[in-house]
Amino acid sequence: MINEITPAKPPRERDILDTLWRLFSSTQLAAIVLLVVALVSTLSALFPQVPSQATRDSAVYAQWLASVQGRYGSWFDFLSTMGLFDVYGSWWFRALLALLAFGLIIGTAERVASLWRTMRQTEVQQGDDSFVDVSQQAVFSVDQPAEQLVERLKAVLTRRLCRTLVEREEGMVYLYADQLWVEAAALLGHIGLIVILAGAVITNHLGWQEDAVTLSPGQSYKVGHGLDAVLRFEKLELDTYPDGSPRDSRTFLQIIENDTEVEQVIGVNRPLTYRGASFYQISHGMAVAVKAGGKDGQPLRLQSFADGAKTAAVVSLPFGGHQSERHFAVPDQNIVFQLVFYQSLPDHGYDGPVFLVQAYRGSEVEPIYSGFIAKNTSLKVGDATYHLALDQYSVLRIVRDPAIAIVVLGLLLTVIGHFVWLYWSPIRFWAAVSEKGAKATVQLAGTAERDEASFASWFESLAQEVKKEGKDG
């Protein structure tokens, strides 16, 4: 007789869903994705990112594009296709964030379900197996009535843990205790991460940032982004130590909007907040403002070599560190000026900041003028007079982040939740008390999710405390 073989049933859809649920709810996957997000975020520091100004100014974008193409050459198209010049706006970075958010939501749902099951647990009596299949057990007798011992034991468990449940049946008293607040804290940590991601999404869609806004005295900058305000830089005051090194700086600004002028002062770690936008001073340096007049006294048009610069009656040249160079042209005179900044030139008799000024006509290699200036000066070059005023420029960062409070809240929840979860291991504890004559027999059992060595010490101290309560009774 041939035995009939029943074909195996194909896996149920529920099995696949369960597998996916366990995968996305695992803390290991969330940790890996979070690590990958952190690592790829460093790419934004390795490659130049599209400036926020370029998103609203095609000329700025064209200038930035030309500079980056020249730097990376034939690699530019590949790097651009990979989104390495706009890491946070690339599809793959957003996909990573979506995967992280999905995993956190699933993990949070799993935590909520686990916490809900724990909260609803009212079955205290567990049977004899609960006092065998756990890491820590203890059995002893005390000379005390069972009811009196139960009340004392309940007080000890409530103080040491949190929630304590009691059930009586056929001369036995069963107790169950746990640390519900530790599991709630773990849930709080998950919620905090979700709140941070939500804040990041809000910032990405509604926030903006203007980096390295460089202004010299008298210059203005239109903020835009719906703010419709003009930022005017008045002056910078610098405090120094006796050796001349900078100690503090203050930038005096005017914010002009709808014919209303608001004067403000900002400094290092002292930003200005105006209509949700924050203005930070990130650096400062020496600047030279130049204007010129022809032999007839009429002002000459000047043009700096900065990207996108147009001719103007006054140009401001901001300088970086020692030996940094700046140039400007005088189109009507066919002259180009080169200025070089030095922190000091003791060999030439200058112990403080000084500028080397040289003027070249056309394509000539020999300067038609060369000299040093260390203060406001007027120069005669050809038939024109040039007025050079030394001053300080300021570099500002303008940021609007509507979700900063949300992100701070998320960070707070995450830190508190994970600190509690890492410092306290969730404990589950069972006790059974029976009475025989004038004595009460106590069975104790407990388990912890982590750090069994510390839990063993904790369990032993609790058992000793219960014994002491029995003797004191």
Mind listing the pLDDT tens digit for each residue in 441-468? 888 988 888 888 888 998 999 888 888 8
Higher-scoring residue by pLDDT: 63, 112: 112
For the cut 60, the answer to whether the pLDDT of residue 5 exceeds it is: no
| Of the ranges 33-47, 169-183, 396-410, the best mean pLDDT one | 396-410
Mean pLDDT across the chain: 84
What is the average pLDDT across 378-382? 92
Place 367 in a pLDDT band, splitting at 50, 70 and 90. very high
pLDDT at residue 293, as a whole number: 93
For the cut 80, the answer to whether the pLDDT of residue 291 exceeds it is: yes
For the cut 90, the answer to whether the pLDDT of residue 340 exceeds it is: yes
What's the CA gap between 256 and 232, in Å, rounded? Answer: 8
Contacts of residue 251, Cβ cutoff 8 Å, sequence gap at least 6: 233, 236, 265, 266, 267, 281, 284, 394, 396
Global model pTM greater than 0.95:
no
For the cut 80, the answer to whether the pLDDT of residue 206 exceeds it is: yes
What's the CA gap between 448 and 330, in Å, rounded? Answer: 80
What's the CA gap between 403 and 288, in Å, rounded? Answer: 39
Place 130 in a pLDDT band, splitting at 50, 70 and 90. low
Instruction: Indicate the DSSP class of residue 270.
Output: B
Least confident of 157-161, 201-205, 221-225, 243-247: 243-247
For the cut 50, the answer to whether the pLDDT of residue 2 exceeds it is: no
For the cut 80, the answer to whether the pLDDT of residue 133 exceeds it is: no
For the cut 90, the answer to whether the pLDDT of residue 329 exceeds it is: yes
433 in Cβ contact with 307 (< 8 Å): no
Torsion of CA 188, 189, 192, 193, to 10 degrees: -140
pLDDT at residue 1, as a whole number: 39
Give residue-wise pLDDT tens across range 149-199. Answer: 888 889 988 888 888 999 888 888 999 988 888 888 888 888 998 898 899
What is the average pLDDT across 3-25? 61
pLDDT at residue 7, as a whole number: 46
Residues in the chain: 473
For the cut 60, the answer to whether the pLDDT of residue 394 exceeds it is: yes
pLDDT at residue 51, as a whole number: 72
For the record, the structure tokens of 6 come out as 């029943």
pLDDT at residue 3, as a whole number: 43
| Angle, CA of 115, 415 and 448, to the nearest 5° | 45
Torsion of CA 353, 359, 360, 361, to 10 degrees: 160
pLDDT at residue 331, as a whole number: 92
pLDDT at residue 129, as a whole number: 62
